[in-house]
Amino acid sequence: MRRKTMYRKVLMLLFFINLIVILVFSYMQMSRSIPDNIRIMVGENQDFNFNLPIEADLTVDDVDVISVNNKNVSSNQIKLNFNKPFTIKASELGSYTINLKLFGLINFKQIELGIIDSMELMPSGSPIGIYVETDGVMVLGTGVISGVDGLNYEPALNKLKTGDYITAVNNITITNKKELIAVIQDCNGKDLLIDIRRDGLKLQYKIAPVKTANDEYKIGAWIRDNTQGIGTMTFTTKEGEFGALGHGITDIDTSLIMQIEQGYLYSADIMTIIKGKKGVPGELIGVINQNDNNQIGSILKNTGQGIFGIVNENYNKENEGVYLPIGLKQDVKLGPATILSCVDDEIKEYGINIDKIDMSNSGTNKGMVISITDEELLKLTGGIVQGMSGSPIIQDNRLIGAVTHVFIQDSTKGYGTFIENMIYNMQEE
């Protein structure tokens, strides 16, 4: 009898554990299916169909600004039913908060509703050479120094950390490695007051330099002040702004997004292609034409959604193309699309398929899973390779995003970011 009672208790426990797992999984799936932010074009109807048991309250100050299902609202608090299709239209730019309630009772999450201007961008797909200088000298890590006395020292241990930026030494502003090395060599063995920037905070440490057998002073830090590489231009605007890469420029050793002081775009020529294969990403090998005559723009921002700045006055004229309207993430559909890329001496449109759409913000530059379907591109590159990041994604004659990453285990597949995320980062002050 006792054994049967214990057996029932175990079954009940397993039942409740399974129920909790199902509820948590369902909650997470539901949360991922609803974006943290929604953007719609001013003056245009935007249709939504979430088909979820959720009710929402949208609060507005002016009842004449927003209409729902083509009807003007009569109250400043608008009710939305996410279990049925609905249409929203706004007559003015602005930002609003939508409060969601599961089954109309349980507070679920908040959505930011942004009303933005309609926009046309010129998709590019051209290869670009990228050169950036860091804002300060970036610390890659610290190490051991062998002193002139034969002993080992670690003067920067627990003071400098990976990702720090050295901005000044003894109140002398530092902008590059050459300046830092010169100040250290002139210290005559005296302690150095080193100013750093770490995660937005300003800190200062006293570090005692070590004299080596080569009669040099060192502080035991690996540093970098610039980087360069090949990428793809995503778009330009009629005003001469540009967006490229779809992801940030990261340091090759630390994988941290680099804080840049200045940067430049140059024309680039693709010389050869290393095809991608399982476990090994491919790469476009090119030459950066790094001279004044081939400089095509200036980089002003390096963000998780790409690099942004301005192109030279004649760039758009020399690379005149068709301006396309943008497609917001709720406009993106599973199925066929195309990308623009230059892997064979000219920009071509190649077929892809959008396999998965993630409307949430859990991975802002991984909103779409895409696969290369174009036989010509597969033959040339094996799929997505390094250097193709930023290739614009087009669907239904709208610019909807950019290629960002390749799947290491399957080079025919990768991620793409939504174009609205790139625009938001470009426009953010």
Give me 97's structure tokens: 């908060």
Listed in sequence order, the residues at least 6 apart from 350 whose beta carbon sits closer than 8 Å to its beta carbon are: 338, 339, 340, 341, 372, 374, 376, 377
Residue 95 confidence (pLDDT): 83
Phi, psi of 35 (to 5 degrees): -70, 155
| 3-state DSSP assignment of residue 337 | strand
At residue 48, the 3 state secondary structure works out as strand
Q: Which pLDDT tens digit goes with each residue over 399-425? A: 999 999 999 999 999 999 999 999 988
Contact present, 367 and 417 (Cβ < 8 Å): yes
Contact between residue 219 and residue 192 where contact means Cβ atoms under 8 Å apart = yes
Residue 354 phi, psi dihedral angles, 5° rounding: -90, 110
Question: Beta strand 86-90 with 398-407: parallel, antiparallel or unpaired?
Answer: unpaired
> What is the DSSP secondary-structure string of 105-120?
TEEEEEEEEEEE---E
d(CA 234, CA 389): 9
User: Average pLDDT, whole number, for the chain?
Assistant: 88
Place of tokens 């009569």: 74
Q: What is the pLDDT of residue 91?
A: 85
- The fold of 34-118 is Immunoglobulin-like (2.60.40)
Same fold? 34-118, 121-131+226-427: no
| Domain spans, the chain | 1-30, 34-118, 121-131+226-427, 144-219
Task: Tell me the pLDDT tens digit for each residue of 298-308.
Answer: 999 999 999 99
Each of the 429 residues of the chain gets a pLDDT tens digit; together they read 566 677 677 777 777 777 777 767 766 666 677 788 888 888 888 888 888 888 888 877 766 788 888 877 666 677 888 888 988 888 888 888 888 887 777 777 888 888 888 899 999 999 999 999 999 999 999 999 999 998 999 999 999 999 999 999 999 999 999 999 999 999 988 999 999 999 989 999 999 999 998 889 999 999 999 999 999 999 999 999 999 999 999 888 888 899 998 999 999 999 999 998 888 888 999 899 988 889 999 999 999 999 999 999 888 777 778 999 999 998 999 999 999 999 988 899 999 999 999 887 655 788 999 999 999 999 999 999 999 999 999 999 999 999 999 999 999 999 999 999 999 889 876
Alpha-carbon distance 128 to 308, whole Å?
13
What pTM did the predictor assign? 0.86
Fold held by 144-219? Pdz3 Domain (2.30.42)
Judge contact between 166 and 261, C-beta under 8 A: no
Spatial separation of the C-alpha atoms in residues 102 and 86, rounded to whole Å: 17
Q: For residues 106 and 56, is the Cβ–Cβ distance under 8 A? A: no
Give the whole-angstrom CA distance, residue 169 versus residue 188: 14
353 vs 341: CA distance, rounded Å = 15
* pLDDT at residue number 64: 73
Q: What is the dihedral of CA 360, 361, 362, 365, to 10 degrees?
A: 110
Tell which phi-psi region holds residue 136, choosing left (phi > 0), alpha (psi between -120 and 50) or beta.
left
CATH 3.30.565.10 fits 121-131+226-427, yes or no: no
Question: Are 61 and 76 within 8 A, CB to CB?
Answer: yes
Instruction: Residue 397: name the closest of 335, 340, 329, 337 by CA.
Output: 337
pLDDT of residue 338: 98
- Can you give the three-state secondary structure of 348-368, one letter per residue? EEEEEEEEEECCCCCCCCCCE
Strand order, beta sheet including 54-59: 37-41, 106-116, 94-102, 54-59, 77-81
Q: Which residue has the tokens 């002193």?
A: 147
